[in-house]
Amino acid sequence: MTRIASVKTYPISVPRPAPVWTAHEEITAWSVILTEVKTDDGLVGYGEIHGASAARICEWVARFGEIVQGMDALAHEAVWDRLFALTSPRPGAIEDGQMRPVPRGERNAVMAAIGGIDIALWDLKGKAAKMPVYKLLGGENRPVFTYSTGGYYPRDATIHSAAEEMAAFVAKGYRAVKLKSGGFTVEEEIERVAAVRTAIGRDTLLMLDMNAAYGLNDCIRFARGVEAYDITWLEEPLHWFLQPADYVQLAAATRIPLSHGEREIHRYTVRDFIECGAIKYLQFDSTRAAGFTESIRVAQLAEQHGVFVVPHHSPEIHAHLVLALPEVGYCVESHGSDVRDPLPHHVFRDRVTFRDGHIHLADKPGFGLEIDWDAVERYRLS
């Protein structure tokens, strides 16, 4: 049996030359937490986490590493269940010296920590089997459609300043782009979308990422204002506290499909968004919460409801999931500028190849992540 010997983290962050905003929050750095799981027979698997705070998530990974030490490294379901069980009360935990149930306020960090360990275990599983993860899942290698995200708001952002950036992605070969939106008034954002559509032409797909900018009525007004610009989806359109019933109302009021899922941290809330029938694209992010095991679960549920799987971020991980879903695996997100988003381009060697609007995976075992350790040490947080 291949047993887990150690679990380690490498938190990495690169300060931005100048902060930028989404409609929701300021972003001052590019950050990722690499997870490393070693086995007693010499295998090493790597995962990644996107979350905050890095220090707290790393503490949870370390604690969980002690708990799963000695477990079968190929039994990812057993490891996942053991860690997830720590988020709920357990008989006897008060008195028998076991780890106490995870505090409610720590759940996001805990689910991120579980996710990083789980992704590393899938990398290990592929290496043990000497095949890529997508092949473990029965997938066939093919080009994976991708889009590039841009249109963040610098301090001096104007209604028209994002158009040039999005056009530059098209010039690089992208056939789809995603625009951050929601930072200006509804009327200004409609004008901004119009400017981007003019800049990228009619043949390029245009997604809008709203970062939960709107209440229901304002979002309906915005959606109807941009319908003429042939929008592929509205992503995270409604305030964080609004629920599937509100998405049902929005979906009934616009012909633009809705996308959701990156902020959900487990399959049970994702289930409600899928089963309500309001969303057409699912963006669950295994690097933010719960890991690759959970992303498989929600993707299979999406497939049963005819919902397209378009995972958020980390194409080097999520392309493997898309390849395993020939019916509903639609695309992955990319960042088309190594200046604007340097970590994905520099931390991993040969992570993916971009060509003709698609990414292409190699046939390397696991996720095929070859880490540039010089870059890790250069950007690593103390």
Residues 306 and 371 in one domain: yes
Residues 55 and 195 in one domain: no
Residue 98: the pLDDT is 62
- Which residue in 296, 295, 280, 199 sits closest to 237, CA to CA? 280
Q: Is the dihedral of CA 220, 222, 223, 224 positive or negative?
A: positive
Residue 92: the pLDDT is 63
Residues 156 and 286 in one domain: yes
- Which residue in 34, 111, 41 sits closest to 74, CA to CA? 41
* Cβ neighbours for 99, distance < 8 A, ≥ 6 positions apart: 63, 67, 86, 93
Residue 15: the pLDDT is 84
Q: Domain residues for 285?
A: 135-379
- Which residue in 333, 283, 329 sits closest to 147, CA to CA? 333
- Which residue in 283, 274, 284, 271 sits closest to 207, CA to CA? 283
Residues 198 and 323 in one domain: yes
Query: In CATH, what number is assigned to the domain containing residue 161?
Result: 3.20.20.120
Residues 141 and 116 in one domain: no
Domain boundary among 131, 155, 175: 131
Residues 24 and 152 in one domain: no
- Which residue in 335, 260, 292 sits closest to 125, CA to CA? 292
Domain boundary among 76, 108, 131: 131
Domain boundary among 105, 131, 157: 131
Residues 185 and 87 in one domain: no
Q: Please, are residues 249 and 197 in contact by the beta-carbon 8 Å criterion?
A: no
Residues 105 and 217 in one domain: no
DSSP tag of 310: -
Residue 375: the pLDDT is 84
Residue 364: the pLDDT is 93
Query: In CATH, what number is assigned to the domain containing residue 66?
Result: 3.30.390.10
* Number of domains the chain is built from: 2
- For the chain, 382 residues long, give each residue's pLDDT as a single digit of tens: 799 999 999 999 888 888 887 888 878 788 899 999 999 999 999 999 999 899 999 999 999 999 999 999 999 999 999 999 988 877 766 655 566 778 888 999 999 999 999 999 999 999 999 999 999 999 999 999 999 999 999 888 898 999 999 999 999 999 999 999 999 999 999 999 999 999 999 999 999 999 999 999 999 999 999 999 999 999 999 999 999 999 999 999 999 999 999 999 999 999 999 999 999 999 999 999 999 999 999 999 999 999 999 999 899 999 999 999 999 999 999 887 666 666 766 788 766 788 899 999 989 999 998 898 988 888 888 7
Is there a cis peptide before residue 53, judged by omega within 30 degrees of 0?
Answer: yes
Residues 34 and 164 in one domain: no
pTM of the entire predicted model: 0.93
Residues 93 and 142 in one domain: no
Residue 26: the pLDDT is 79
Residues 112 and 250 in one domain: no
CA 214 to each of CA 177, 211, 250: distance values in angstroms, whole numbers, following the listed order = 21, 9, 11
- Which residue in 124, 139, 117 sits closest to 286, CA to CA? 117
Residues 246 and 258 in one domain: yes
DSSP 3-state of 264: coil
196: phi then psi, degrees, rounded to nearest 5: -65, -45
The number of C-alpha atoms within 13 Å of 49 and in the hemisphere containing its C-beta is 34
